[in-house]
């Protein structure tokens, strides 16, 4: 089965993320797909994802970055997330990837490099 990834938002049709991520999936020889998903009901969306064994995670864009937090099993302390991954079966973990501190340009521990 192909691993499934996506970016969610509302609106989302303008997103360049699917083209970028599909390029890298193919380039790296990974069996996966990445799509843009218009999501208006976050609770229903994540309930369905918890039951989908092929769904691995998603990127989150406006206006959902803050609204997703109460629906996750774990989220960072920054107050918004832009990356959600499945861990340990149905556990959903939110992160703020590559969040830079205002001072010193350091990358925080929320998934940055």
pLDDT in tens, the chain (113 residues): 578 999 999 999 999 999 999 999 999 999 999 999 999 999 999 999 998 999 999 999 989 999 999 999 999 777 899 999 998 888 999 998 765 543 344 444 444 43
How many angstroms separate the CA atoms of 17 and 107, rounded? 22
How many angstroms separate the CA atoms of 68 and 61, rounded? 10
Q: Does residue 26 have an active-site annotation? A: no
Q: DSSP state, 79?
A: S
For CA atoms 98, 100, 105, 109, the dihedral sign is negative
pLDDT of residue 98: 63
Record: fold of 3-95: Rossmann fold (3.40.50)
pLDDT of residue 107: 45
Considering the candidates 4, 26, 27, 65, report the single residue annotated as catalytic. Answer: 65
pLDDT of residue 1: 56
Two tokens, residue 79: 């107050």
Strands 32-38 and 3-9: parallel
Q: DSSP state, 101?
A: P
Annotated domain spans of the chain: 3-95
């Amino acid at each position: 089965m192909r691993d499934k990834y996506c970016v969610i938002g509302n609106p989302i049709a303008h997103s360049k993320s699917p083209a970028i991520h599909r390029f890298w999936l193919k380039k790296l020889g990974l069996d996966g797909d990445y799509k843009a998903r218009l999501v208006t009901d976050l609770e229903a969306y994540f309930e369905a994802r918890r039951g989908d064994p092929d769904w691995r995670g998603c990127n989150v864009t406006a206006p959902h970055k803050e609204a997703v937090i109460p629906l996750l099993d774990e989220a960072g302390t920054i107050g918004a997330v832009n990356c959600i991954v499945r861990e340990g079966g149905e556990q959903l973990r939110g992160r703020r990837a590559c969040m830079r501190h205002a001072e010193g340009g350091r990358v925080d521990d929320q998934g940055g490099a």
